[in-house]
Amino acid sequence: MMEQEIASQVVGLGGSADFSLLSLFLRADFVVKSVIIILIAASVYSWALIFDKYRLFKKINSSILDFENKFWKAKSAESFDNNLPVKSNDPAILIFRSAMNELRKTRSKSSAVQLARVERVLEINTDNQIKIIEKNFTFLATIGATAPFIGLFGTVWGIMNSFQSIAISRNTSLAIVAPGIAEALFATALGLLAAIPAVIAYNKFNSDTKNYIARLDNFSKRFLSII
């Protein structure tokens, strides 16, 4: 089956070969086409995640500054809590609100018990919010690590097809092997196209997450110090 496809490609090389991206895809065999489709889908999904995380960090980095400024200007933690939006998905607000709820529940307890329980609630809810923020980070890391190798697989397969074209036609002309090599390089390029933005975005968002965690921890320690 593969030899028939290669033979038909060789026969069709009598004229000038078309090396447009669409032609390279249509001319490729099933395996190389599958590699190209997988890499394009991975790249599109990666960019969707990148834009989504970019908007998320832009929002929470701005909101935590506003949150801290308003908190330290407030007359009391109770009044600040009462003025917060009832429905909010901001991590800092959710963490603070959980701490305030625990503070109210433990008013009858000793100060040491109260402090320990509020501190525990802060830690648990901070971890939960960070997990939400870091959701799909693994996908970016996986694409960054595996996409070049998936593209390399398509490259190797395309070069194998080129050598088979030479064997079938018994002609070492560049016109015989050029289409297969072009398909192979196309797969390599797509692998890098998917991997490079994913790696850069993963490192950037990982750094942003660490900075955000540091701000949350700093606020939690300052908040515990005034209880």
pLDDT along the chain (227 residues), means of 10: 45 50 68 86 94 94 90 84 84 90 83 87 93 92 93 84 71 64 80 93 95 91 83
- Rg (alpha carbons) of the chain, rounded to whole number: 28
What is the reported pLDDT for 179? 66
Q: What pLDDT is attached to residue 28? A: 67
Amino acid at 90: D
Place of tokens 């694409």: 143
* Nearest one of 57, 31, 52 to 157, comparing CA atoms: 31
The string of DSSP codes covering 5-33 is HHHHHHHGGGSPPP-SHHHHHHHS-HHHH
184 and 159 Cβ atoms separated by less than 8 Å = yes
What local confidence, expressed as pLDDT, does residue 22 receive? 66
Do 175 and 13 contact (CB within 8 A), yes or no?
yes
Q: What is the pLDDT of residue 21?
A: 60
* Per-domain residue ranges of the chain: 21-76+90-226
